[in-house]
Amino acid sequence: MAEAHQAVAFQFTVTREGIDLRLSHQAFTEIYLSGVRSWKKRIIGLKNSVVTGVYPASPSSWLFVVIAILATMYTRSDPSMGLIAKIQENLPVSQSMSNQCQTLVSALLFSTMLWLLLIFTMRMCLKQLLSYHRWMFEKHGKMSTTTKVWVALVRIFSGRKPLLYSYQGSLPNLPVPAIKDTVKRHLESVRPLMDDTEFERMTQLASEFESRLGNRLQWYLKLKALWATNYVSDWWEEYVYLRGRSPIMVNSNYYGMDFMYVTPTPIQAARAGNSLHAHFLYRRKLNKEELRPTRIPGTVIPLCSAQCERLFNSTRIPGEETDTVQHWQDSDYIAVYHSGRYFRLRMYQAGRLLSPREIETQIQRILDDPSAPSTGEAKLGALTAGDRIPWAEARTKYFSSGVNKRSLDCIEKAAFFVSLDDEEQGVVADDPASLDAYAKSLLHGKCYDRWFDKSFTVIFYKNGKMGVNGEHSWADAPVLSHLWQQTLSTDCFQLGYNAEGHCKGEVDSTLPPPQKLSWEIPPECEEQISQSLAVAQALADDVDIHVFAYQEFGKGRIKKCRVSPDAFIQMVLQLAYYRDQRRFCLTYEASLTRLFKEGRTETVRSCSNESSAFVRALENGEPAHVCRRLLQEASEKHQNLYRLAMTGSGIDRHLFCLYVVSKYLGVESPFLKEVLSEPWRLSTSQSPMHVEMFDIVNHPEYVSCGGGFGPVVDDGYGVSYSFMGDHILNFHISCKHSCPETDSHKFGDQIRTALQDLLQLLNPIRTECHRAEGGRPDVKKHL
């Protein structure tokens, strides 16, 4: 194979005349350039480590301190109050060094220590400032004097040009809430779900827990909080994600969609060329820490960026008891799947990133490759879609040595995974079901044409549409969402295409072709692949997904009604679910805790006493002014719950960690056991949209469909929603066909009706709400 020979730097043959040695200049060049690239990355990493390590100061500030100290000493003043002289007395130097030189060295040492002390002081001050969260609970538009001073101080101590990880050392640790506060909030959250007898029993369990076992478990948890960076995140990753033995496809992985109305090019290879190039441009910025730190929108408050570290070059490794997340420092290639074959595609040539046109050429070579899959290769990916224990056993037995290990390593160590699909997907005019099929394809595909263990898989369809499937254990959706939307923006607004729809740029004719991976799959392994595929296919067939874009009004009109858009949608979901099921249920809304170091998520329990009171009043035909007041109270309650969750005072992560401690100690808690077994029949999440990356005013058609996830429980709904600018709402609803009580399309109709009902209820508050939004730009649909 030609690609194999290119990987060998020299070959030799023993002949009668002696040894015939043949050197490969190209191979040596590649090795040299690879080494140069690796050392450049190390040097950049070292430089960034220094810059981040001294933040919020800068390395150049050391010189300023030194000059200031020396200048003060020149005026015959002693800014050290005798410390420089003490350093000079104890300085282990040679007798040949002059007294003046010893004084200079002592001054440099004192200046350095003073500089480090100033850095430590500034960092502690910034950490204390970032621990202040009262600003979040103030009414919108009414900022207190304390908060104004706080904002000014944060700006001062934040420096001018922070790198991606500059704030990591200044973020506060996640606090451990008081037992009594968590128990009180939990009882309040379950009250609308229980009758008097059930609630009295739960109150008794909670009281016994709080007065007896709770304090003991809390002591261990506080001890962990003092020792660990974050008392939740490592246990959350291990016990919620990695120890799960059921398939991660549908149950854990999630997806993101392409533009809704626009397909930049109908050429599959060209779309892949621009997109893959954009992914590696993003990775270059990530490695250099040139990405701006994520902040709460509209504020100067930074969020933790630790999850970005495992975005690329990462994979989930199956284990019999628990999986692990493996991350490699670098990878210069991607793994590609097409028509049952796996390929290794190098993204660098002669030390440079391939141009979009060159990547398009390489992808086209894969699409045109007529070779057939090896025995057992075509559906190999089903192992990652089925149960985890059979996959772990098969990996140990059949992929731990030889050609199978080399090929599997190639996939797992790739920057990310790419799937080239032979079908077409996307929005089809006059076919509402097209979005549903698109979502199902991204969520599970054919159950064997994705590598669900990779940190993310990018899917390119035959008609130029694309999408992404993300593995959930290594990070939460906002991290991958930022990459995805940046890629979409770079693809269309920076790279672009020529008139024929191909990528721009020239092609190096010496590019080696992509390398097809080899496999030796025995019949026993093929049998396991078939079994995993059967499990995955049954799961995929059971998924019922409905996706729709609601264009009657959007975030802008909701804001005019003086209601939080997120709270508005959550009340819509509560009303829709009650109408669908004639009962309330425990509702999960994901909230970020990235205000704290290594923070991930917390649960907002959206079904509250206030929300249920509003829904009952509306359904019972109470007067509009009563319903309006109850809606305002429910919305304010929801916002308060969201703020508590963001600031470390949530319910579920604290109870989860207490439960883990109880298991380590070998003690049983009826209260915790019941709390952790409560089903989330309505699981919701707002998909983050980075609208600043797109010009929605001039190009309103360039809006994404957002993304979604599978149902959390067999008899529940999963709902993901997003605000596309000010005029469009997107909903992704999932449930299971096997449950006769759930139907994604029926629930979607209930959401549409509830949206109109709530807006109509709020209309009298402001006359602007009566007006149709004539300013909403027309959207040109290029399907």
The residue-averaged pLDDT of 607-614 equals: 97
The residue-averaged pLDDT of 183-207 equals: 96
- Which residues lie below 8 Å from residue 368, measured CB to CB, with a gap of 6+? none
Supply the pLDDT for residue 29: 67
> Would the pLDDT of 281 be above 50?
yes
DSSP letters for 500-569: TSPBPS---TTPPPPEEP-----HHHHHHHHHHHHHHHHHHHHEEEEEEEE-S--HHHHHHTTS-HHHHH
CA angle 488, 494, 498 (to 5 degrees): 100
Between strands 456-460 and 417-420, the pairing is parallel
The residue-averaged pLDDT of 685-689 equals: 86
Paired strand residues for 334: 345
Tens-digit pLDDT profile for residues 570-609: 999 999 999 999 999 999 999 999 999 999 999 999 999 9
> Which H or E run includes 257?
strand 254-257
Tens-digit pLDDT profile for residues 493-515: 899 999 999 999 889 888 999 99
**Out of 186, 338, 444, 472, which one is annotated catalytic?**
472
For the chain, the residue count is 783
Supply the pLDDT for residue 11: 54
Distances (CA, A) of 536 to 240, 385, 416, 526, 546: 20, 6, 22, 15, 20
Task: Please give, one letter per residue, the 3-state secondary structure of 34-99.
Answer: HHHHHHHHHHHHHHHHHHHHCCCCCCHHHHHHHHHHHHHHHCCCCCCCCHHHHHHHCCCCCCCCCH
For the chain, percent of residues with pLDDT exceeding 70? 91
Tens-digit pLDDT profile for residues 331-369: 999 999 999 999 999 999 888 999 999 999 999 999 999
For the chain, percent of residues with pLDDT exceeding 90? 70
Taking the C-alpha atoms of residue 581 and residue 284, their distance in angstroms, rounded to an integer, is: 49
Best CA proximity match to 550, nearest among 349, 759, 735, 390:
759
User: Contact, 174 vs 648, CB < 8 A?
Assistant: yes
The secondary structure of residue 778, as a DSSP letter, is: P
The secondary structure of residue 192, as a DSSP letter, is: G
**Sign of the dihedral defined by the CA atoms of residues 658, 660, 663, 665, in that order:** negative
Q: Phi and psi dihedrals of 660, rounded to 5?
A: -60, -45
Supply the pLDDT for residue 693: 67
DSSP letters for 303-323: ---GGGGGSSSEEEEP-SS--
> Would the pLDDT of 723 be above 80?
yes
Distances (CA, A) of 508 to 356, 491, 512: 12, 21, 10
- pLDDT higher for 725 or 233? 233
The residue-averaged pLDDT of 365-382 equals: 96
Q: Which residue has the tokens 């799960």?
A: 244
Q: Known catalytic residue: 472?
A: yes
Best CA proximity match to 215, nearest among 174, 173, 175, 183:
183
Paired strand residues for 22: 11
Amino acid present at 401: S
Paired strand residues for 344: 335, 515
Taking the C-alpha atoms of residue 354 and residue 356, their distance in angstroms, rounded to an integer, is: 7
Task: Please give, one letter per residue, the 3-state secondary structure of 553-620.
Answer: CCHHHHHHCCCCHHHHHHHHHHHHHHHHHCCCCCEEEEEECCCCCCCCEEEEECCCHHHHHHHHHHHC
pLDDT band at 44; cut points 50, 70, 90 = confident
Supply the pLDDT for residue 33: 66
**Sign of the dihedral defined by the CA atoms of residues 608, 611, 617, 623, in that order:** positive
> Would the pLDDT of 80 be above 50?
yes
User: Contact, 486 vs 480, CB < 8 A?
Assistant: no
Amino acid present at 300: V
> Would the pLDDT of 374 be above 50?
yes
> Which H or E run includes 655?
helix 652-665
Supply the pLDDT for residue 351: 85
At 269, is the secondary structure helix, strand, or coil? Answer: helix
Taking the C-alpha atoms of residue 652 and residue 590, their distance in angstroms, rounded to an integer, is: 11
Count of CB atoms within 10 A of residue 579's CB?
19
> Would the pLDDT of 775 be above 70?
no
Between strands 18-23 and 717-724, the pairing is unpaired
Average pLDDT score over the chain:
89
Supply the pLDDT for residue 289: 92
Count of CB atoms within 10 A of residue 497's CB?
21
Taking the C-alpha atoms of residue 166 and residue 171, their distance in angstroms, rounded to an integer, is: 10
The residue-averaged pLDDT of 44-72 equals: 82
pLDDT band at 30; cut points 50, 70, 90 = low
The residue-averaged pLDDT of 563-572 equals: 95
Taking the C-alpha atoms of residue 369 and residue 364, their distance in angstroms, rounded to an integer, is: 8
Supply the pLDDT for residue 95: 63
Paired strand residues for 12: 21
Supply the pLDDT for residue 37: 66
Tens-digit pLDDT profile for residues 313-333: 999 999 999 999 999 989 999
pLDDT band at 774; cut points 50, 70, 90 = very low
> Would the pLDDT of 3 be above 50?
no
Query: 99: burial class by Cβ within 10 Å (0-12, 13-18, 19+)?
Result: exposed
Taking the C-alpha atoms of residue 728 and residue 551, their distance in angstroms, rounded to an integer, is: 5
Best CA proximity match to 529, nearest among 405, 378, 401, 317:
378
- pLDDT higher for 780 or 500? 500
Paired strand residues for 459: 419, 467
Amino acid present at 688: P
pLDDT band at 5; cut points 50, 70, 90 = very low
